Structure 1
Amino acid sequence: MDKADVKVVILCGGKGTRLREVNELIPKPLVPVGEMPILWHIMKGYSTQGYKNFILCLGYKGDAIRNFFLNYTNNNHDVTINLKTGEIIHRNGETEDWNITLVDTGSETNTGKRLHAVKKYIEKDPYFLLTYGDGVSNVNIDELIKFHNSKSVIGTITGIRASSKYGQVKADEAGIILQFAQYPLLDDRINGGFMVLNKEFLNHPKLATNIPIEEVIADLTVQRGIAVYHHEGAWHCMDTPQHFEELNKLWRTEKAGWKTW
């Protein structure tokens, strides 16, 4: 399947309640990292690797995301406007070579039903890519797809090792600390998004109901229908105000490991 034909579905409809003090006026995917929204960083990461065909599942404050892209060129370039003719000339910069389908999937819809709402745009393809609108990574998409195609599975998720929320202590029998690690990496992996799903995934009956997409993944896991691609590189999510600060600090200090452009 040619890269130009591969659809990248991004779930952009959540309310991001744990990030409320940062994004009260905008949807979570538009929360900025540097000068651009985290959603832009996600899409830029895909497009740098040649995947430029996006489907955005809009929900909570979805009009803000729609307007961001409808006005993208005007807001990111110097412009000259002829008020009489309405002609607009963009004076500098390059516009992203992206094809974006914006779909309103409901403000209260869960992720499974959001995917079901865009089924008509992807059901004819052998597979599609899916990720969340709040996580960035430098995962190699070509290698991810290659891994997926080497397995007899319906879906592949990217498994990352998250950091513990707590410090880890190892001590001897006398109570003397032998080792202390602040926020060590966990042994078990978590779902980091960046998934490859065959079109058969769309036929799961639960997708038509208002359930999280993770329930479908769990069902298929029981049937040995899901694989995990181990990613050891950069991965960050924006779930809390602390994550917002961390991501922006990494960007300011040019330590953004997800930046592949």
Structure 2
Amino acid sequence: MRLQDLFINEDLSIKDAIRKLDETAKKILLVTEDKKLKGIITDGDIRRWILKNGDLNQSVSLVMNTSPKFVYEKDVIHAKEILKDKMIEAMPVLNDKEEVMDIIFWNERFSTKFNQQTLENPVVIMAGGKGTRLEPYTKIIPKPLIPIGDTPIVERIINRFNEYGCNEYYMTVNYKKNMIRAYFDDMEKSYSVDYVEEDKPLGTAGSLYLLKDQLKETFFVSNCDILIEGNYSDMMKYHKENNNKITLISSLVHYTVPYGVIVIDEDGSVKEMKEKPEYDYLVNTGMYILEPECLKDVPEDTFFHITDLINKYIDEGEKIGVYPVSESAWLDMGQFKEMENMMEKLGVK
């Protein structure tokens, strides 16, 4: 990738900046004019704008950081120290004319892993479903063990959390549960996996009741067929700082209707024609952060979805938060096409 691929103009729309962030996969864009740095845009800047319900068609000038951290070429020897001190993962390098000459990425330049908050929170993985949309594969093996490359999807999920320090896992199991147990019991691992056995399907939250005496701290919940490429430490920090009872990890999904859409008046006459209109939605990814007291509100031995719990809290005025990630950061394998997309994005066959 060329350095210029990260350059954008301040008149670019926020929506187009999101697309470019996805394309470059560097989590940062440099707002420049004649190579001179005017500001930077990160996925965090975009996230804050989305949470303000800001218009994505507005220009990036509204969200860019106009006082970004940078280093001059003559001082580049101090870049590692600056990045570590300011807790940032990337920083532009300028010459004496204030022109961008390079950008230093911590993960590309230094061998040590970027300093991130270590998490010790438990993780619950919902792995009890039959995965009927992935038949005939799931006639033979349970969905959590379907390989993405040479690694089962559920192990990839655990590995992602494990990178952030999570070592305590609970897996709700039902369909072909013995195969799941056998897989993890036979492997060497640096974490613990406990199983929550459903005698019958209990939905996406019903089985959480069985953990009410075990989970005493804030915990993650994840479906067994998704991967979120995000900063899990930042998600937990956001959840805590906002005193949320539940935080939904959501994805900003862009959708174009592939037809001309007709808008009609009350009398049935055509008011307007919109050719292939575009819409943006915050979509539930299937990953959540919950406070332990939520377990008291899950009914015993009842089919109960986590969305039922969320709607109950919304009705009661409890604080439910949203942490947005980009569309490309949400990898789903719930259906064959989605599974193929996941493998392509992860670069596996």
TM-score by length of 1: 0.75
Pairing partner for 1:188 from 281, 285, 290:
281
* Structure 2 contact 172–196 (Cα < 8 Å) conserved: yes
Is residue 251 of structure 2 the alignment partner of residue 157 of structure 1? no
Give structure 1 regions of 4+ aligned residues with deviation exceeding 4 angstroms: 168-171, 175-178
**Partner residue in 2 for 1:113:** 206
Mapping of residues 86-101 of structure 1, within 5 Å: 96-101=189-194
Counterpart-to-counterpart distance in 2, 1:8 and 1:105: 17
Mapping of residues 14-25 of structure 1, within 5 Å: 14-25=129-140
SS in 2 for 1:219: helix
- For the aligned residue pairs, the C-alpha RMSD in angstroms reads 2.8
* Higher mean C-alpha displacement, 101-110 vs 220-229: 101-110
Deviation at 1:177, TM superposition (A): 9.2
* Structure 1 contact 60–106 (Cα < 8 Å) conserved: no
**Partner residue in 1 for 2:336:** 241
Structure 2 vs 1, CA of residues 152 and 64 (structure 1 numbering), >3 Å: closer, same or farther? Answer: same
Pairing partner for 1:231 from 325, 331, 336:
325
The residue identity in structure 2 corresponding to 1:229 is Y
The residue identity in structure 1 corresponding to 2:182 is N
- Return the structure number with greater relative CO, CA threshold 8 A, min gap 6: 1
Deviation at 1:45, TM superposition (A): 0.8
Query: Which ranges in structure 1 are unaligned for 5 or more consecutive residues?
Result: 74-95, 255-261
Deviation at 1:193, TM superposition (A): 2.6
* Structure 1 contact 58–106 (Cα < 8 Å) conserved: no
SS in 2 for 1:72: coil
**Partner residue in 1 for 2:225:** 134
Counterpart-to-counterpart distance in 2, 1:112 and 1:163: 28
Counterpart-to-counterpart distance in 2, 1:164 and 1:15: 29
Counterpart-to-counterpart distance in 1, 2:260 and 2:235: 35
Counterpart-to-counterpart distance in 2, 1:163 and 1:59: 35
* Structure 2 contact 120–165 (Cα < 8 Å) conserved: no
Counterpart-to-counterpart distance in 2, 1:3 and 1:151: 19
Is residue 303 of structure 2 the alignment partner of residue 210 of structure 1? yes
Count residues in correspondence.
Answer: 223
**Partner residue in 2 for 1:49:** 164
Deviation at 1:128, TM superposition (A): 1.1
SS in 2 for 1:121: coil
**Partner residue in 2 for 1:11:** 126
Percent identity of equivalent pairs:
24
Structure 2 vs 1, CA of residues 3 and 208 (structure 1 numbering), >3 Å: closer, same or farther? Answer: farther
* Structure 1 contact 128–199 (Cα < 8 Å) conserved: yes
* Higher mean C-alpha displacement, 135-144 vs 107-116: 107-116
**Partner residue in 2 for 1:77:** none
Q: Indicate the structure (1 or 2) with the bigger Cα radius of gyration.
A: 2
Deviation at 1:165, TM superposition (A): 8.4
